[in-house]
Amino acid sequence: MHWQAKVQKDLAWRLELRPNELTPLGDGELTFVASVTNAHGNTGTGQHDIDVNAALPGLRIHMISGDDVVNAIEQRHDLVVSGTSEHLSAAAVVTVTINGKTYTTAVDAQGTGA
């Protein structure tokens, strides 16, 4: 499969694969190869390998304190760390480690934990 991405002024590029494009690639090892040719005909390439295992549970941590910055006022109140998950059953234990200290919580029926 081939996709194209445009190089920006800062020389960065980005390609977004939507779920309907990524899912058909299936589980297993995927090799991404990117190449570019400059105005002089010189070509450069890069490669990155990943493993896809859609059966693994997915876990996402939400933004903390609305901006991922805990200010002096927020530091004096309870801090809520929450997220969402997929492929877990209700009551599954989620372990969160912050600077070496471990906390646990359970996933609720909607797949969230707090």
Q: Give the pLDDT band of residue 102 (cuts 50, 70, 90).
A: very high
Q: Which of 53, 65, 100, 105 is nearest to 84 (CA)?
A: 105
Q: Containing H/E element for 101?
A: strand 101-106
The verdict on pTM exceeding 0.85 is no
What is the percentage of the chain residues whose pLDDT exceeds 70?
A: 95
Helix (H/G/I), strand (E/B), else coil: 94: strand
Q: For 52-91, what is each residue's pLDDT tens digit? A: 888 888 888 999 999 999 999 999 999 888 888 888 887 8
Give the span between the Cα atoms of 2 and 13, in whole angstroms: 15
Average pLDDT along the chain:
88
| Residues contacting residue 8 through CB under 8 Å, at least 6 positions apart | none
The DSSP output letter for 25 is: G
